[in-house]
A = this chain, B = another copy of it.
Amino acid sequence: MKEVLPKFNSTFSIDCVVFGFDEGELKILLIERNEEPFKDWWALPGNIVEENESLDQSASRILNELTGLTNIYMEQYYTFGDVNRHPQGRVVSIAYYALLRLGGDKALKPLSTYAKQAHWINVKELPKLAFDHQQIFEKGLEKIKRRIKHQPIAFELLPEKFTLTQLQNVYEVILSKKLDKRNFRKKMLSFGVLKDLEEKQQGVSFRAATLYKFDRRKYAKLFGKEISF
């Protein structure tokens, strides 16, 4: 361990693009920094990786500290390592995106010790971001655009029980385009991974829609087959 590592002062951090979906809007969690560098700037939540935690563990911890939630769906997607990306030294940052259900009952209030404030901000109205976080965000958004076509990640952004219209909204906002209602439903239902709960939405004005849930078992059975949502 001695002579080989490390060759110079360096460290690694995790940065998270935390996507949340609420009433038709795609948002991410941003913090307002309370420390130099980039004091008072908006930034992606992130932190230094600790000695005794893997990258995935670190990402979970950071997200838990920020939201109080555990078991959030996360995926590592790229590592940013330009020499001067951090003004205080060599910091290589491993980027994760996370997907979670906002809205409804639990009204997720982000809490943060290391930031002035944390807010959910619509991806279409982002402020300037610290460091290379704009780039990290853009690559993250690109990733989920690709991945939503082949993997069932849309469901992570919705409550357990959801309507087909809500599901369609997720696809529309992530792909930034309108989809045809009939074709969308036909295709989604044709995979056989949505379970009709024979239950209706509650507390909406106007006609209530049928609730569905994502059937992970049936989806697991399909595996191997390339699905194209």
> A204 an interface residue at 8 Å Cβ cutoff?
no
Chain A interface size band reads: 20 to 34
* CB of A108 to closest CB in B, whole Å: 28
A127 interface residue (CB < 8 Å to B) = no
Query: Which stretch (A6-14, A21-29, A160-168) binds chain B?
Result: A6-14
The reply to whether A81 and B49 form a contact with Cβ atoms under 8 Å apart is: yes
A115 proximal to B (CB < 8 A): no
User: Which one of A90-98, A176-184, A208-216 is at the B interface?
Assistant: A90-98
A1-B89, A5-B91, A89-B1 as given contacts; A83 in contact with B11, CB under 8 Å: no
Interchain CB contact (< 8 A) of A82 among B1, B11, B54, B81? B54
Residues of A within 8 A of B (CB): 1, 4-12, 48-56, 76, 78-79, 81-83, 86, 88-92, 94
